[in-house]
């Protein structure tokens, strides 16, 4: 099971779209993925470390370093398949590297 942390500014709209899109598409591609959606503001170092991949809406700046792979997932929100495909591909290649 791959755990993904999706994040956006309100934790209500964009991050939930990222979460459901990632879960749906990765399931289609044959991976077991579980994503959570949170507000960027509430993210702590400890929280990030519980996940395998960090998928924020855009590159956030924290007071600490992110040690897990980061995939920017904003393009998913354009709702246009050709534009979201590269995000899914990148997530897939990160998962493959993990050998989980």
Partner 1 sequence: MQTIIEFANTIFSPLINLGAAPMMFILITLFALLMKVKFSRAVEGGLKLAIALTGIGAVIDILTGNFAPALKDFVKSTGIELSITDVGWAPLATITWGSAYTLFFLLILVIINIVMLLMNKTDTLDVDIFNFWHLSITGLLVMYYSNNLFLATILVTVLGVMKFINADAMKPTFNDLLDMPDSNPTTTTHLNFMLNPLIMLFDKIFQKLFPFIDKYDFDAAQLNEKIGFWGSKFAIGVYLGAFVGLLGQQPVQTIFTLAFIGGVALELFSVVGTWFIAAVEPLSQGITNFLSAKFQGRKFNIGIDWPFLAARPEMWAAANVIAPIMLVIALFLPGNGILPLGGIIAIGLTPALLVVTRGKIMRMIIIGTIMVPVFLWSGTAIAPFVTETAQSVGAFPAGLESGALITHSTLEGPVEKFIAIIVGRLGESFTLKNILIAVGSLTAYIGLFVWYLKEMKKRNAEYARQKEDVDAA
Binding mask 13-52 for partner 1 (x = CB under 8 A): xxxxx--x----------------x-xxxx-x--------
Q: Which of residues 59-78 bind partner 1 (CB under 8 A)?
A: 59-64, 74, 77-78
What is the distance between the alpha carbons of residues 32 and 87, in angstroms, rounded to a whole number? 17
Interface with partner 1 includes 85 (CB under 8 A)?
A: no
Indicate the residue among 83 and 98 with the shorter CB distance to partner 1: 83
Would you state the structure tokens that stand for residue 83, as one six-digit string? 């534009």
What is the distance between the alpha carbons of residues 56 and 53, in angstroms, rounded to a whole number? 10
Interface with partner 1 includes 80 (CB under 8 A)?
A: yes
Element (H, E) at 19: helix 14-28
Indicate the residue among 17 and 34 with the shorter CB distance to partner 1: 17
Q: What is the largest CA-CA distance in the chain?
A: 36
Residue in this structure with the two tokens 């964009």, named with its chain if needed: 14
Interaction site with partner 1 (CB under 8 A): 8-17, 20, 37, 39-42, 44, 56-64, 74, 77-80, 83
């Amino acid at each position: 099971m791959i755990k993904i942390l999706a994040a956006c500014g309100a934790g209500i709209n964009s991050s939930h779209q990222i979460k459901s899109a990632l879960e749906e598409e990765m399931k289609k591609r044959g991976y077991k993925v579980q994503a959570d959606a949170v507000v960027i503001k509430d993210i702590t170092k400890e929280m990030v470390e519980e996940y395998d991949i960090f998928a924020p809406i855009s590159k956030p700046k924290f007071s600490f370093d992110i040690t897990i792979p980061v995939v920017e997932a904003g393009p998913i929100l354009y709702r246009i398949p050709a534009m979201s495909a590269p995000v899914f591909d990148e997530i897939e290649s990160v998962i493959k590297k993990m050998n989980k």
